[in-house]
């Protein structure tokens, strides 16, 4: 495994207060790293700083390296070369993440138009293939549909298609399956893990759903008040949590889950 | 579309149609020039030849006022177009980055009464249609900048803007493809409502003699020159006045109706 993302002593400061303190971790290609913790612990700020989308006025210290590229000092122009091409991101809220005035096919194809030299016809085919892959069949959803004609789950699939379009090395998923029903969630995660296995894509999954984390992540990083309190392999963190906060988090959320053993849901997967 | 908005839109269109359709037809024939002077038939009462009678120069009142209406609407339309294009561009820039200069100038512009701006232009350029058009456009500019900036900002905080940036798109593309299409309905409504205000400004300015010079027919100047006859020939004052009312009310109602109709269509789409 080659290591893909190095975050070293990352601190982020908003105009009013510090948000992240000294967060460090490494992510290898093909691996899934879950970042978990309560609301307000700085998970989303971490995701934003990894994509260079922090609001103006925020200060970043430390180093973020994507292979050999140092991301923390990139200009906006250079960021445009990285985003979408080497790095994709899916949001939590599928209802607002699509432009209501543009057809979904156009929005998915946009990434191709920007980062590749494919012709119009090739982009059309690629878009169609991608939509099939995320489970939007021609029969169900037309490329020419507008976002309002789609359900929340279908919109989330469109967003995933947009993020996966240029086969990014790193996918950041910020609570992206929280708004979905269990079946769709499982299908989307299966698709993402398939990409990890076949193309070596790394996933940074931000979630407070510990069940989901346990099922899909290779490594876990637990955050509290902007600092990393514990990190390690999923098995070690879940079976032998060292930090009291992790222990509390696990007892609280797995208490109910322990009584109903996890049964794998029937998973829909489209061929990749 | 709701029944109420439908009615506002319809009444607005009817008011505009009553003035603009005949005005356009007449202007096509006389090229926007005043009807011929006929000293033998001054102050003629309405007759089959002159449906609304003639004015102190023996000119046909109906033709004169309708030609004036067309000229006023032309000036108003050009100035609104200017204000919309320039104001939208500046508003988008002001939304994208901290733009103290633009907003400062816009606020400064709001502080000056339009008549003062117009007087300034007339002093600099002489009384002309161009000067008047520029003055009205300049008067509408600050509001256009503010509205565009506000609307664009509400779009810029949407997740799909972040999604587009995540796909690697730069600010110019995002403004053109994401922000502009989403604020276009608002800009259309704003432009229609501005037309009403622009016509009122035009009438006011030419009433004061700051508009296009004679012999070009003009609603405000007609009102000013006929007003001494308000008791002996009331029709001379009533007709230009009613025409202005029809145009202003018509554009206002049309704008309001359009807004309600677009809102209804938008809600149907999003919910």
Q: 3-class secondary structure for A3-67?
A: EEEEEEEEEEECCCCEEEEEEEEEEECCCEEEEEECCCCCHHHHHHHHHCCCCCCCEEEEEEEEC
Cβ <8 Å between A110 and B169 = yes
Task: Please state the rounded mean pLDDT for residues B257-271.
Answer: 72
Between CA B175 and CA B213 the distance in angstroms is: 41
Task: Give the model confidence (pLDDT) of B86-137 as tens digits.
Answer: 999 999 999 888 778 888 888 888 888 777 877 787 778 777 888 888 888 9
First to last CA, chain B: 15
- Residue A110: list chain B partners with CB under 8 A: 164, 167, 169
Report residue B3's pLDDT band, with 50, 70 and 90 as the boundaries: low
Contact call for B181 and A110, based on CB within 8 A: no
A157 with A192: CB under 8 angstroms? no
Closest chain A residue to B172, measured at CA: A77
Q: Which residue of A has its CA nearest to B180?
A: A101
Q: pTM value?
A: 0.77
Q: If you write DSSP's letter for every residue of A181-206 in order, what string do you get?
A: -HHHHHHHHHHHHHHHHHH--EEEEE
Interchain CB contacts (distance < 8 Å): A and B? 70
**B222's tokens:** 């007609």
Q: Is B154 on the interface with A (CB under 8 A)?
A: no
Burial of B35 (0-12, 13-18, 19+ CB in 10 A): buried
Which of A47-56, A140-149, B50-59 shows the lowest per-residue confidence on average (mean pLDDT)?
A: B50-59
Lowest mean pLDDT among A159-163, A264-268, B92-96, B193-197: A264-268
pLDDT at A269 over 60: no
Mean pLDDT score of chain A, rounded to an integer?
A: 84
Residue with tokens 């949001």: A91
Residue A204: both structure tokens together: 């940074």
Q: Which of A208, A173, A205 is nearest to A94 (CA)?
A: A173
Which tens digits make up the pLDDT trace of B140-158? Answer: 888 899 999 999 999 998 8
Is residue A57 within 8 Å of A19, Cβ to Cβ?
A: no
Whether pLDDT at B271 is above 60: no
CA dist A17 and B29 (Å) reads 72
User: How does B128-158 read in b/e, with b if 16+ C-beta sit within 10 Å?
Assistant: ebebbbbbbbbbbbbbbbbbbbebbeebbeb
Which chain B residue is nearest to residue A147, measuring alpha carbons? B270
Is B188 in CB contact (< 8 Å) with chain A?
no
| Distance, CA of B93 to chain centre | 25
Output the pLDDT for position B246. Answer: 95
Q: pLDDT per residue over A120-133, tens digit each? A: 899 989 899 889 88
Distance separating alpha carbons of residues A1 and A30, to the nearest angstrom = 8
Whether A2 has a pLDDT exceeding 80, the answer reads: no
Q: Where would I find the beta strands (DSSP E) of B117-257? A: none
pLDDT tens, A72-101?
888 888 888 888 888 888 877 777 888 888
* Residue B62, C-beta contacts closer than 8 angstroms, at least 6 positions apart: B50, B51, B52, B239
What are A161-170's pLDDT values in tens digits?
888 888 899 9
Q: Tell me what pLDDT residue A96 has.
A: 82
- In tens, the pLDDT along B208-230 reads 888 888 778 888 888 888 888 88
Considering only CB atoms, B168 lies closest to which of A81, A101, A159, namely: A81
B6 close contact with A: CB closer than 8 A: no
pLDDT for A186-201, tens place per residue?
888 888 888 888 888 9
Q: How many CA atoms lie within 13 A of A45 on its CB side?
A: 25
For Cα atoms B245, B249, B250, give the angle at the middle one, nearest 5 degrees: 110
Give the mean model confidence (pLDDT) for residues B51-70.
86
- What pLDDT score does B11 carry? 93
Q: What does the pLDDT look like over A238-255, one tens digit per residue?
A: 888 888 888 888 887 765
What does the block give as tokens for A261? 């053993």
pLDDT at A40: 82
What would the mean pLDDT of A56-69 be, rounded to a whole number?
88
Judged against a pLDDT cut of 60, whether residue A260 lies above it is answered with: no
Rounded to an integer, what distance in angstroms lies between the CA atom of residue B26 and that of residue B32? 8
Q: pLDDT band at residue B270, thresholds of 50, 70 and 90? A: low
Report residue B21 CA to chain centroid gap: 17
Q: Which of A97, A146, A168 to mutate to test the interface with B (most CBs of B within 10 A)?
A: A97
ipTM confidence score: 0.75
| Residue appearing with tokens 């005949």 | B22
Chain B closest-CA separation from residue A98 CA (Å): 5
Residues A97-106 pLDDT 10s: 888 888 999 8
Q: Which residues pair with A89 in a beta bridge?
A: A172
């Amino acid at each position: 495994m080659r290591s893909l993302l190095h975050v070293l002593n990352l601190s982020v400061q908003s105009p009013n207060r510090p948000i992240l303190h000294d967060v460090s971790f490494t992510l290898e290609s093909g691996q899934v790293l879950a970042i978990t913790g309560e609301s307000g612990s700085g998970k989303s700020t971490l995701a934003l700083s990894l994509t260079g989308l922090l609001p103006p006025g925020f200060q970043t210290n430390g180093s973020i390296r994507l292979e050999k590229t140092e991301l923390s000092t990139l200009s906006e122009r250079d960021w445009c070369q990285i985003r979408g091409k080497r790095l994709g991101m899916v949001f939590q809220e599928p209802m607002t993440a699509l432009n209501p005035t543009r057809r979904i096919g156009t929005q998915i194809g946009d990434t191709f138009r920007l980062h590749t030299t494919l012709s119009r016809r090739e982009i059309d085919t690629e878009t169609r293939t991608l939509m099939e892959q995320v489970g939007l069949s021609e029969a169900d959803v037309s490329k020419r549909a507008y976002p309002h004609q789609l359900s929340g789950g279908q919109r989330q699939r469109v967003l995933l298609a947009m993020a996966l379009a240029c086969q990014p090395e790193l996918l950041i998923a910020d609570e992206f399956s929280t708004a979905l029903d269990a079946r769709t969630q499982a299908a989307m995660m299966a698709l993402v893990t398939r990409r990890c296995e076949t193309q070596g894509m790394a996933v940074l999954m931000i979630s407070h759903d510990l069940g989901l984390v346990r099922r899909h992540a290779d490594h876990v990083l637990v955050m509290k008040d902007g600092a990393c309190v514990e990190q390690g392999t999923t098995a070690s963190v879940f079976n032998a949590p060292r930090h009291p906060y992790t222990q509390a988090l696990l007892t609280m959320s797995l208490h109910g889950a322990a009584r109903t053993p996890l049964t794998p849901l029937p998973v829909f997967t489209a061929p990749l | 579309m709701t029944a109420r908005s439908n009615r506002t839109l319809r009444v607005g269109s009817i008011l505009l149609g009553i003035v603009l359709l005949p005005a356009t037809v007449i202007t096509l024939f006389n090229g926007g020039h005043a009807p011929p002077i006929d000293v033998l038939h001054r102050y003629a009462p309405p007759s089959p030849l002159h449906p609304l009678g003639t004015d102190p120069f023996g000119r046909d009142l109906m033709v004169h006022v309708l030609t004036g209406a067309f000229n006023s609407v032309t000036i108003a339309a050009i100035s609104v177009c200017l204000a919309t294009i320039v104001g939208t561009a500046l508003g988008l820039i002001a939304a994208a980055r901290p733009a103290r200069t633009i907003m400062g100038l816009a606020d400064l512009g709001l502080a000056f009464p339009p008549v003062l701006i117009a007087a300034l232009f007339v002093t600099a350029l002489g009384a002309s249609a161009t000067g008047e058009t520029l003055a009205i456009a300049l008067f509408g500019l600050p509001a256009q900048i503010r509205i565009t900036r506000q609307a664009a900002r509400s779009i810029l905080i949407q997740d799909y803007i972040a999604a587009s940036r995540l796909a690697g798109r730069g600010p110019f593309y995002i403004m053109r493809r994401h922000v502009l299409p989403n604020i276009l309905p608002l800009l259309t409504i704003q432009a229609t409502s501005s037309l009403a205000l622009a016509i009122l400004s035009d009438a006011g300015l030419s009433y004061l003699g700051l508009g296009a010079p004679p012999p070009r027919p003009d609603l405000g100047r007609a009102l000013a020159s006929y007003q001494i006859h308000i008791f002996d020939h009331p029709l001379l004052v009533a007709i230009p006045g009613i025409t202005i009312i029809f145009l202003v009310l018509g554009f206002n109602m049309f704008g309001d109706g359009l807004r309600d109709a677009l809102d209804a269509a938008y809600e149907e789409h999003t919910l």
